[in-house]
Amino acid sequence: MRVLVTGGAGFIGSHVVTTLRKRGHEAVVFDVREDPAADVRDPAAVRRALTGVDAVCHQAAMVGLGDGVADAADYVAHNDLGTAVLLAAMAETGVATLVLAGSMVVYGEGGYACARHGVVRPGPRAVAALDAGRFEPPCPVCGADLSPGLVGEDAPADPRNVYASTKLAQEHLAAAWARCTGGSAMSLRYHNVYGPGMPRDTPYAGVASFFRSALARGEAPRVFEDGRQRRDFVHVRDVAAANAVALEAEAAPGALTVYNTGSGTPNTVGAMARALAAAHGGPEPVVTGEYRLGDVRHITADSSRLRAELGWKPAVGFEEGMTEFARAGMRGA
The catalytic site residues sit at 163
- Residue 306, φ and ψ in degrees, nearest 5: -65, -40
Please report, for residues 29, 162, 242, the alpha-carbon distance to residue 154 in angstroms, rounded to integers and kept in the order given: 33, 22, 20
Beta-bridged to residue 257, according to DSSP, are: 186
Please report, for residues 96, 138, 144, 259, the alpha-carbon distance to residue 141 in angstroms, rounded to integers and kept in the order given: 45, 8, 8, 30
Tally the residues of the chain.
333
- Helix pair angle (318-327, 269-280), 10° resolution: 50
- Contact present, 200 and 333 (Cβ < 8 Å): yes
List, as one string, the DSSP characters of 300-331.
EE--HHHHHHH-------HHHHHHHHHHS--B
Ordered strands of the 97-103 beta sheet? 26-30, 2-6, 55-58, 97-103, 184-190, 255-261
Indicate the Cα dihedral angle 329, 188, 312, 269, nearest 10°: 50
- Contact present, 206 and 165 (Cβ < 8 Å): no
Three-state DSSP at 277 gives: helix
Tell me the one-letter amino acid at 184.
S
**Residues 201, 113: Cα–Cα separation, whole Å:** 37
Task: Please work out, in degrees rounded to the nearest 5, the angle formed at the alpha carbon of residue 221 by the alpha carbons of 216 and 223.
Answer: 155
Tell me the one-letter amino acid at 330.
M
- Contact present, 259 and 249 (Cβ < 8 Å): no
- Number of other CB atoms surrounding residue 238 within 10 Å: 21
